[in-house]
Amino acid sequence: MQIRPHRIIKRKKTKEIKVGKISVGGNSKITVQSMTNTLTTDVKNTITQIKQLEEAGADIVRVSCPDENSTKSLKEIIKNVEAPIVADIHFHYRRAIEAAKMGASCLRINPGNIGSKERVLEVVKAAKDNNCSIRIGVNAGSLDKSLLEKYKEPCPEALVESAKNNIKLLEDNDFFNFKISVKSSDIFLTVKAYQQLSNECDYPLHLGVTEAGSLFSGSIKSSIGIGQLLMEGIGDTIRVSLSSDPVDEIKAGYEILKSLGIRSRGVNIISCPSCARQAFPVIETVKKLEEKLAHIKKPINLSIIGCVVNGPGEASQTEIGLTGGGQDNNLLYLSGLPHTKVANSEIINKVVQLVEDKVKELD
């Protein structure tokens, strides 16, 4: 049984491109990305972190390439991971050329930082020669000087004009295997820029609110910005940019997609905020269940409600449900139907067992 969203999101059809083995845009799934925070020259720890991101569900992983030693490290890294690797190019166009030759699946370039048209064209040639896609990464914090002089400050029109200028540059050189982002740390600027760009092109869009902040505040800002765009059918791949463990970015990305009924992974826990009616410690129970069920990858809906006011209704919509009852007399539901009573002390083990049994059934 799956919870059905009341609103079906009609996604805008964009061009489909390839980032290594992963399709982005078109009819392909909305992918979830993150970026490593290890030194790329520390090959062992970078590989370890990428594998952790893969385990969390990362479809694509970006790594930083600030110098030649970093781009040289890509070859060994790529050999030892599954996810397509995006090389993040800071300023020097030669790093992009080197990364393409080392096997990167995509080059993330900010044209405002790369320099002259001629340098951008050399990057395009390297991408063509090595079957590598490109992300045009426009950022409000690093717009071209001419655009800042024209618009006086970062604004949606400036971000979109930068994107369109670079789209034309790539198209004029017969290169179409690219996606675009127009990010800002300001939610309103970000949303308006993506809305405008979506109306003016059909290339796949990489969504994100850049430099969103800490795990808590950044997740909220990203949910508002990315979530609004996704609800409008805009977006083909997402990254939640957090000052936190990169694995948290993947988890937050999936939570956004799950909340919109777009893509599910792992256990979706529907729980009450707890109140004086609770028959068991809801907050502590949910926290422990999240920890013990973190390894589950199959999409399963689980409701944990502390009393009988809303519990039966929520349980009717989930594969597994728990409703608090009086006198240590809680009721577990399976597929919306009453199943068995469970004491407070048995809740964690019993729910975990039922979830794991459900996973085996789905397999």
If 0-12 CB within 10 Å is exposed, 13-18 middle and 19+ buried, where does residue 148 land? middle
145 or 60, which is more confident:
60
The stretch 157-185 carries a mean pLDDT of 93
pLDDT of res. 195:
98
**Residue 188 CB coordination number (10 Å):** 11
What DSSP element (H or E) covers 162? Answer: helix 156-172
| pLDDT top residue among 117 and 109 | 109
- Cβ atoms of 332 and 342 within 8 Å: the answer is yes
- pLDDT band of 144, cuts 50, 70, 90: confident
CATH 3.30.413.10 segments of the chain: 267-362
- Is the separation of the CB atoms in 138 and 112 below 8 Å? yes
Q: What is the pTM of this model?
A: 0.91
Query: Which of 87, 1, 21, 31 has its CA nearest to residue 262?
Result: 31
User: Residue 278: is its pLDDT beyond 80?
Assistant: yes
d(CA 226, CA 15): 20
CATH of 267-362, picked from 3.30.413.10, 3.90.550.10, 3.40.250.10, 3.20.20.70, is 3.30.413.10
Q: Which CATH superfamily is domain 17-259 in?
A: Dihydropteroate synthase-like (3.20.20.20)
List pLDDT tens digits, range 310-320.
899 999 899 99
The encoded tokens of residue 352 equal 């975990």
State the pLDDT at residue 141: 86
Strands 267-271 and 300-305: parallel
User: Which amino acid, one-letter code, is at 300?
Assistant: I
Q: How far from the centroid of its chain's Cα atoms is residue 222's Cα?
A: 10
Residues of the chain with CATH 3.20.20.20: 17-259
User: Residue 44 burial (CB < 10 Å; 0-12/13-18/19+)?
Assistant: exposed
Going from the C-alpha of 269 to that of each of 218, 247, 258, 262, 339, the distances in angstroms are 21, 19, 11, 16, 19
Q: Name the band, by pLDDT with cuts 50, 70 and 90, for residue 325.
A: confident
Instruction: Please report which helix (H) or strand (E) contains residue 126, including its range.
Output: helix 117-129
